[in-house]
Amino acid sequence: MKQVEIVTAIIMKDHKILTTRRGYGQFINLWEFPGGKIESGETNEEALIRELQEELAVEIIPEQLFMSTEYDYPDFHLTMHCYVCSIKKGTITLLEHNGAKWLDKDHLDTVEWLPANKPVIDGLRVMLTL
């Protein structure tokens, strides 16, 4: 089975979390955290900074690893590293997504998430309750 390793950004503002809706591909219109594949020679943090610049036109600061999770899709095995990030510079501009929302913990279930994100959602729900 093909192995895919990605990084994603958990960006929070006013106790809300940014989520984006995929604008292309097999999982179009499903919701996810912004991010993408790690390229050869990149650290997780370098990949995340590059991906957020490409997807949202913002410069971010990866602050800490929130969690890593594994998920088996029918065609590939996904390893996803999720980082709590802040926006250093720029205004969010959707370059690859067709939607974005800021969700608080009580509204995390109001969008249709990609399956690999569900353990992250559970962890965020706990973190936002503390």
* Residue positions forming the annotated binding site for 8-oxo-dGTP: 21, 32-35, 117
Binding-site residue ranges for Mg(2+): 35, 55
Binding-site residue ranges: 21, 32-35, 55, 117
Please state, in angstroms and as integers, the Cα–Cα distance from residue 64 to each residue in 2, 44, 48, 68, following that order: 28, 11, 12, 12
Report the distance separating Cα 65 and Cα 85, nearest Å: 9
Please state, in angstroms and as integers, the Cα–Cα distance from residue 41 to each residue in 44, 106, 126, following that order: 10, 39, 34
Please state, in angstroms and as integers, the Cα–Cα distance from residue 4 to each residue in 9, 118, 120, 130, following that order: 17, 18, 17, 32
Backbone angles phi, psi at 54, to 5 degrees: -70, -40
